[in-house]
Amino acid sequence: MIVPYSHVLILAGILFLLGAVCALARRNLIMILIGVEVMLNAAGLALIGASLKWQQLEGQIFVIFIMAVAAAEVAVGLALIVYSQRRTGTLEADRYNLLKG
């Protein structure tokens, strides 16, 4: 069964919207990181759908790069979250004003 390209784009748009809502509405740093991951997966899904529609492998290669960037982002993001939680004792994003000069 072949899924129409418009359905793939609608699903990717819904996933991206859910990830953006999760990243913007939540106060917990881990939930913000999960929202960003969902948005990256939505972009990968849209690229896979486009590469299948036009029978080109570039979209699938880009998705591999997106997955590598997402893995690096999770590693660095979780390390920063663990360090910040140990330093301040909380994961609430509103409590972090460490970047003020």
- The confidence score (pLDDT) of residue 99 equals 59
- SS in 3 state form for 3-64? CCHHHHHHHHHHHHHHHHHHHHHCCEHHHHHHHHHHHHHHHHHHHHHHHHHCCCCHHHHHHH
Amino acid in the structure at residue 43: A
Rounded to an integer, what distance in angstroms lies between the CA atom of residue 33 and that of residue 78? 8
- The confidence score (pLDDT) of residue 67 equals 86
What pTM did the predictor assign?
Answer: 0.81
- The confidence score (pLDDT) of residue 62 equals 82
Structure tokens, 27: 């106060």
- The confidence score (pLDDT) of residue 9 equals 94
**pLDDT string in tens for the chain (101-residue length):** 788 899 999 999 999 999 999 999 988 888 999 999 999 999 989 988 888 888 877 778 888 888 898 889 889 988 988 888 888 888 888 777 665 65
Rounded to an integer, what distance in angstroms lies between the CA atom of residue 87 and that of residue 82? 9
Residue given tokens 């998705």 in the structure block: 63
Q: Cβ of 12: how many Cβ atoms within 10 Å?
A: 20
Domains contained in the chain, CATH given = 27-90 (1.10.287.3510)
Give the side-chain half-sphere CA count within 13 A for 84. Answer: 19
